[in-house]
Amino acid sequence: MNFGEHLTIDGYGGKEELLDNKNLVLSCLNELPNLLGMRQLSEPMIFHAEDNEIKDPGGWTGVVVIAESHISVHTFPKRGFVTADVYTCRNNMDTDFIVNFFKDKFALKDIETNFIKRGTRYPTNNTS
């Protein structure tokens, strides 16, 4: 038994107009927790990140805190790239559903994922 699961998604070849759509990012952060049966503890927070003239050409960054942990999205419209994290204290995450959710929302052509089991030695009892 592990404490939770963490899925990271790196999406490539997305449509610039979708990745540069603040309302779409906000919609993802409002929709996905409900679709996964998770409970939002806050409204999503969305920020526009400016071009840092190094390697980040700017885009939207958003996060929603859920009772089970968090979901975050970072878009890079000029690169057709998005990163997303879904971290939950639940087990048996439906990774295919989540990957397809982001693939469809941003019209991604290629996706790279990493799946991590978190807290593999999570204590079974309180220490005090």
Catalytic residue among 6, 72, 89, 128: 89
In 3-state terms, the chain is what percent helix, strand and coil (to 5)? 25, 40, 35
Per the annotation, the verdict on 69 as an active-site residue is yes
With contact defined as beta carbons under 8 Å apart, do 108 and 102 qualify? yes
Per the annotation, the verdict on 128 as an active-site residue is no
Per the annotation, the verdict on 28 as an active-site residue is no
Catalytic residue among 28, 69, 70, 72: 69
Catalytic residue among 28, 70, 72, 74: 74
Q: Where are the alpha helices (DSSP H) in the chain?
A: 16-19, 22-35, 95-106
Instruction: List, in sequence order, every residue forming a beta bridge with 12; answer none if it has no partner.
Output: 110
Write out the catalytic residue numbers.
69, 74, 89
